[in-house]
Structure 1
Amino acid sequence: MSSWEKVYHKWSSFQNLDPSLKSDLENIKVNQESLEDAFYKELTFGTGGMRGILGPGINRMNIYTIRKAVNGLANYLLINTVNVKDRGVVVAYDSRYMSQEFAVETAKVLGTYGIRTYVFDSLRPTPLLSFAVRYLGTVAGVMITASHNPPEYNGFKVYNEDGGQITPDEATEIIASIQETKDELSVPFMENEELEKQELINWVGKEIDNAYLEQLKQISRLEPAEIEKQKDLQIVFTPLHGTAYDLVTNGLDQLNFANVGVVEEQAKPDPEFSTVESPNPEEHHAFTLAIKQGKQTDADILLGTDPDADRLGVAVKDNTGEYRVLTGNQLGALLLDYILSHSDPVMLKSARMLKTVVTSELGRAVADAYGIKTIDTLTGFKYIGEKIRQFDATGETFIFGYEESYGYLISSFARDKDAVQAAVMACEMAYFWKKQEKTLLEALDVLYEKHGFYLEGMSSLTLKGKEGSEQIVKIMEEIRNNQLTEIAQFKVEKVEDYQAGERTLAGGEKETIQLPKENMMKFILEQDSWVCLRPSGTEPKIKCYFGVCADSSEESEQKLTALKETMDELIEGIVSSN
């Protein structure tokens, strides 16, 4: 009997197995491939937490894998933080299947250790969870979400006492603590009645929402008299069946944006995300209904947030009257320019802009123009949150942080990407430019003319299951061991291997990269171009990012197409040879 079959037998013979999971197990036992995939390994707990398909098995999201993770987290907190039982842990959840159940399971396991849990009484966005950790002063936070993944997924995301995603070092210790729990089926937990009786579970209402909205109002760059005016900006907003409805609409109302049309078909939470192929504002088809409504109301700006409201997409009209979805890089550069142009110059002296290594260099160019230092981080907003925490000690000022995947943070009262902050600021910015008789696309053209025509792209290859994971490892090995000297006729000037922590120059000289280790490779090319290859940390994908700059949009398009075609061909060749 193989190792995975032993684990399967343990589950199938467990007398107290949850009835719904037992039924699911019966349904898949005739499919050897599905059964093996559910049991051949434990669900990966990465640097932010774990995310996976719902169902029975140790490689699935269910009450038993949740209990094991929480048990490890509890032991980690008791050893590494102070006043754990009194300060407690705050838990929020989104609109997905089993989200509320997993939130309560978290409280049930923490309760066995005497750790108080604050659980929101209904679904809430991820940025509110980040804020709640800081507001309540808890030792940690847990967000039950799979972000923009398909309906069959859910996840368990851990936040540290600063309100940021756990750092790699914290994750390493938590993972080690989780692994000390050998049997996920026998993790002790407290029943709901006992939790309530001992006051170890506290249901959180609107208090934190209201405190968040007070902070949100403070990020506005509008003068007080301007805030009081009703604004003639036509807005269409879709929360894509997720959690953003209340905070976004209330946040806009605070600034007197009166003309906000909500896409009613997508306003209510729906774990099936039934009106979209994917609840991801990065995917342009997610804006289909918003565009239809926008055309009916002649909207100036369309807003779309993902299910847990940490990502924002924006669409605006082009010169033909059609709506165009801005990329994350474009919206980030526009927001940065608006914020810096409406900030106190005295405050800017110590200001820092944060972006990831795969985010557009246009942001750096904009920051440079205002004399602002740009700091690069690894991919993932946890690294931006960690850097903000360091600023608390160094006296540097956080001014803005963003990543290409539609994540933005304007004020550090939250320490993760915040689509609510970004949505309100995007509307304020659109209102500003409308008064100048410009759309956001025209404002973007101003940036391009000033700084250069920066253009970025990304391609990804999905490789599911055990075989797919092995193929992703092979792709990275091949490219790391056979380093490229030229890509699409562009010479490689530097190679940055973040796993080795080394930068290799064209002449062979090596430099140390002052960033945490991660399985990524970036090629800095001539003519202000670059390519970066990275396995996804949350999905069975390998991603390839591209960036170029030229004197015209046409030239940038040509350069980007050449890079993409070359890298796609290279990766497909590696896959087909195995």
Structure 2
Amino acid sequence: MSNWKSVYNKWNQFQELDSKLKQELEQLKTNEQQLEDAFYKELSFGTGGIRGVLGVGTNRMNIYTIRKAVYGLASYLLENTVNVKERGVVVAYDSRYMSKEFAVETAKTLGTFGIRTYVFESLRPTPLLSFAVRYLGTAAGAMITASHNPPEYNGFKVYNDDGGQMIPEEANQIIENISKIENELAIPVMEQAELEEKQLLVWVGEEVDNAYLEQLRQISKLPVEEMEQDKDVTIVFTPLHGTAYSLVTRGLEQLNFRNISVVEEQAQPDPEFSSVESPNPEEHQAFSMAIELGKKVNADILLGTDPDADRLGVAVKDNNGQYTVLTGNQLGALLIDYILSHLEDVHLSNAKILKTIVTSELGQEVARHYGVDTINTLTGFKYIGEKIHEFDSTGERFVFGYEESYGYLISSFARDKDAVQAAVMASEMAYFWKKQGKTLLDALEVLYERHGYYREGMSSLTLKGKEGSEKIALIMDTIRKNPFEEIAGYNVEAVEDYLISERHLLSTNEIETIELPKENVLKFVLQNNSWVCLRPSGTEPKIKCYYGTCGTSLQESEQALAALKETMTKVMNEIIS
């Protein structure tokens, strides 16, 4: 947006501007740098939707950016989907600031098109929204969430009628419709009372929850008679001030897991996430209170979900009585092993595992051990959901999908990552191994001894604002034009550039086509089953660097991992300095 001041003036002169936003605009007038950041661009609609800092301006999350996104969605649905007005759109929301207000704002905008909106009466997890789209048969779904971002963020995530996140082809049409909107301040909305009177706003209660829980019970690999027995496993659970409390505890109880202790200080929804530095189970500090409680009750497994309950972290006790937080890659490999070991041979023949290109190769090796193929997708669960939808017509059997960032899906009754499913299955798996006198760490060691000691990691640079975006672009552009031939002493065997869909094999100088959608990602395949992958985040002001190594011992793999991280961090800092 070249002339941000003219956009600011338009907002400043708008007489009917929301009173809270008007007050914030007054406060920003003395800080031109913050004012420019609020108006220098429009909050971009990515493949999953929009996400940003709450506040006034076109580059912030507020009722006007929500209206603009919803207007684009409504236009897309009316052009591309049948019976939209009757089928409607279902909306759920999490515990963040403005979440319920944005959910109602979505209904107020859809209502002007005559499209009915189903809105949950209270906060619900993201996977339940995905399930609700399929259960209610709606034309689309929307989730008001910023996942595990800091408290000042919120977002609007869009789902297609299959219950999966919008894929790029769908999102691009929505973006095109959004681009036609000349004035976000002039988008018409209906009042809530009128919507309810005309039944264009329908409040949703527990019917969907109960239907979801019935499906959840069926993912168990336990014999029916064992499902009915009380389980000798002690669980500590924290929903980290988010949405997962009800469904996780009810899901565990219906399989007769009775020894569940909840971290009470983190059980209640709280938009400030006041007891943690970050409400992200990937961050080990998020488990501090769970570990404390785990020691008191001698827990076998600790479970932590992020605010919208699409990510699960797990910690287990080691032989010294200390709790170790598993990585997403480790838990994924364990779940693959548990699920496939309980599948009959007839179901293994056309079974498929789905994972992303930055997820560990250990899971693929475990699947190969059972004769099951693994399919790689681009980063983002929307691509896994898209493949599951393809399986509906090809007859291939989806048995598990995951990504390294703590996202898992066991059964396709939901089409997005589902921490509720994963929490129940991880608990069942811990119970299974405990009966054999083993912990999940013991089970993981078995996998390492069989397949190799795989270790993975990720580092990121946070670069905020306009200047930060330019630095991220500079890093990608510099490395793309000057690709590595070796990294930390490891020779590069192939360079994969997903922006141009090419894989360059260095030893033969051959070029292969990558059969995946184009995306701004660079991956360097190294010797010894190691790799490095660079990717700007689509939802945060970050550039992420992922690493994978494999050695004959844990120490060897971790040394290689540290060397790769050190080298890439140095390279990125040198480019931007």
Scaled by the length of structure 1, what TM-score is found?
0.99
1:238 is displaced (CA, Å) by 0.2
For residues 253 and 525 of structure 1, what CA distance do their matches in structure 2 show? 46
For residues 159 and 166 of structure 2, what CA distance do their matches in structure 1 show? 5
- Equivalent residue, structure 2, for 1:184: 184
For residues 339 and 414 of structure 2, what CA distance do their matches in structure 1 show? 17
The answer to whether structure 1 residue 459 and structure 2 residue 472 are counterparts is no
- Equivalent residue, structure 2, for 1:92: 92
1:142 is displaced (CA, Å) by 0.2
- Equivalent residue, structure 2, for 1:146: 146
For residues 197 and 225 of structure 1, what CA distance do their matches in structure 2 show? 49
For residues 31 and 2 of structure 2, what CA distance do their matches in structure 1 show? 16
3-state secondary structure, aligned to 1:51: strand
After TM superposition, list the pairs within 5 Å mapping 1:459-538 onto structure 2: 459-506=459-506, 507-538=508-539
- Equivalent residue, structure 1, for 2:355: 355
For residues 417 and 276 of structure 1, what CA distance do their matches in structure 2 show? 23
3-state secondary structure, aligned to 2:14: coil
3-state secondary structure, aligned to 1:255: coil
1:204 is displaced (CA, Å) by 0.2
Structure 1 residues 219-268: Cα deviation after superposition (integer angstroms, max 9, x where no partner): 00000110111111110000000000000000000100000000000000
1:434 is displaced (CA, Å) by 0.3
Task: Note if contact 2:2-2:40 (Cα within 8 Å) is conserved in structure 1.
Answer: no
- Equivalent residue, structure 2, for 1:283: 283
- Equivalent residue, structure 2, for 1:218: 218
After TM superposition, list the pairs within 5 Å mapping 1:360-439 onto structure 2: 360-439=360-439
For residues 386 and 305 of structure 2, what CA distance do their matches in structure 1 show? 24
- Equivalent residue, structure 2, for 1:554: 555
- Equivalent residue, structure 2, for 1:168: 168
3-state secondary structure, aligned to 2:532: strand
For residues 474 and 424 of structure 1, what CA distance do their matches in structure 2 show? 43
- Equivalent residue, structure 2, for 1:78: 78
1:509 is displaced (CA, Å) by 1.0
1:366 is displaced (CA, Å) by 0.2
1:28 is displaced (CA, Å) by 1.5
For residues 167 and 554 of structure 1, what CA distance do their matches in structure 2 show? 40
RMSD of aligned Cα (Å)? 0.8
After TM superposition, list the pairs within 5 Å mapping 1:43-62 onto structure 2: 43-62=43-62
Count of residues in correspondence between the two structures: 576
Task: Note if contact 2:495-2:523 (Cα within 8 Å) is conserved in structure 1.
Answer: yes
Structure 1 residues 471-490: Cα deviation after superposition (integer angstroms, max 9, x where no partner): 00000000000011111111
Counterpart residue type for residue 89 of structure 2: V
After TM superposition, list the pairs within 5 Å mapping 1:84-163 onto structure 2: 84-163=84-163
1:318 is displaced (CA, Å) by 1.3
For residues 459 and 256 of structure 2, what CA distance do their matches in structure 1 show? 40
For residues 30 and 254 of structure 2, what CA distance do their matches in structure 1 show? 56
3-state secondary structure, aligned to 2:164: coil
Structure 1 residues 191-222: Cα deviation after superposition (integer angstroms, max 9, x where no partner): 11110111101000000000000000000000
For residues 2 and 189 of structure 2, what CA distance do their matches in structure 1 show? 30
Structure 1 residues 512-549: Cα deviation after superposition (integer angstroms, max 9, x where no partner): 00000000000000111000000001000000000010
For residues 439 and 343 of structure 2, what CA distance do their matches in structure 1 show? 21
1:148 is displaced (CA, Å) by 0.2
1:335 is displaced (CA, Å) by 0.5
Counterpart residue type for residue 535 of structure 2: R
After TM superposition, list the pairs within 5 Å mapping 1:235-246 onto structure 2: 235-246=235-246
3-state secondary structure, aligned to 2:17: coil
Structure 1 residues 275-307: Cα deviation after superposition (integer angstroms, max 9, x where no partner): 000000000000010000000000000000000
Structure 2 segments unaligned to the other structure (5+ residues) = none
For residues 477 and 270 of structure 2, what CA distance do their matches in structure 1 show? 41
Structure 1 residues 64-116: Cα deviation after superposition (integer angstroms, max 9, x where no partner): 00001101110110000000000000000000000000000000010011000
For residues 166 and 384 of structure 1, what CA distance do their matches in structure 2 show? 11
Question: Runs of at least 4 residues of structure 1 off by over 2 A?
Answer: none
- Equivalent residue, structure 2, for 1:566: 567
- Equivalent residue, structure 2, for 1:24: 24
- Equivalent residue, structure 2, for 1:269: 269
For residues 505 and 324 of structure 2, what CA distance do their matches in structure 1 show? 39
Counterpart residue type for residue 20 of structure 1: K
Structure 1 window deviating more from structure 2 (565-574 vs 409-418): it is 565-574
For residues 242 and 373 of structure 2, what CA distance do their matches in structure 1 show? 36
Structure 1 residues 42-64: Cα deviation after superposition (integer angstroms, max 9, x where no partner): 00110000000000000000000
For residues 27 and 239 of structure 1, what CA distance do their matches in structure 2 show? 35
Structure 1 window deviating more from structure 2 (20-29 vs 514-523): it is 20-29
Structure 1 residues 485-512: Cα deviation after superposition (integer angstroms, max 9, x where no partner): 1111111100000001000001321010
After TM superposition, list the pairs within 5 Å mapping 1:313-328 onto structure 2: 313-328=313-328
For residues 488 and 55 of structure 2, what CA distance do their matches in structure 1 show? 44
For residues 345 and 34 of structure 1, what CA distance do their matches in structure 2 show? 61
3-state secondary structure, aligned to 2:398: strand
For residues 344 and 95 of structure 1, what CA distance do their matches in structure 2 show? 41
For residues 188 and 18 of structure 2, what CA distance do their matches in structure 1 show? 15
- Equivalent residue, structure 1, for 2:33: 33
1:552 is displaced (CA, Å) by 0.6
For residues 247 and 203 of structure 1, what CA distance do their matches in structure 2 show? 19
Percent identity between matched residues is 73
Scaled by the length of structure 2, what TM-score is found?
0.99
Counterpart residue type for residue 273 of structure 1: F
For residues 29 and 427 of structure 1, what CA distance do their matches in structure 2 show? 53
Counterpart residue type for residue 156 of structure 1: F
Task: Note if contact 2:51-2:156 (Cα within 8 Å) is conserved in structure 1.
Answer: yes
3-state secondary structure, aligned to 1:34: helix
For residues 272 and 76 of structure 1, what CA distance do their matches in structure 2 show? 35
For residues 554 and 108 of structure 1, what CA distance do their matches in structure 2 show? 57
The answer to whether structure 1 residue 249 and structure 2 residue 249 are counterparts is yes
For residues 139 and 502 of structure 1, what CA distance do their matches in structure 2 show? 36
After TM superposition, list the pairs within 5 Å mapping 1:443-458 onto structure 2: 443-458=443-458
For residues 447 and 56 of structure 2, what CA distance do their matches in structure 1 show? 51
Structure 1 window deviating more from structure 2 (312-321 vs 239-248): it is 312-321
For residues 452 and 28 of structure 1, what CA distance do their matches in structure 2 show? 56
For residues 533 and 76 of structure 2, what CA distance do their matches in structure 1 show? 34
The answer to whether structure 1 residue 345 and structure 2 residue 345 are counterparts is yes
- Equivalent residue, structure 2, for 1:227: 227
1:2 is displaced (CA, Å) by 6.7
3-state secondary structure, aligned to 1:458: strand
Structure 1 window deviating more from structure 2 (209-218 vs 558-567): it is 558-567
Counterpart residue type for residue 565 of structure 1: E
For residues 29 and 290 of structure 1, what CA distance do their matches in structure 2 show? 44
For residues 34 and 390 of structure 1, what CA distance do their matches in structure 2 show? 45
For residues 196 and 320 of structure 2, what CA distance do their matches in structure 1 show? 59
1:343 is displaced (CA, Å) by 1.1
1:327 is displaced (CA, Å) by 0.2
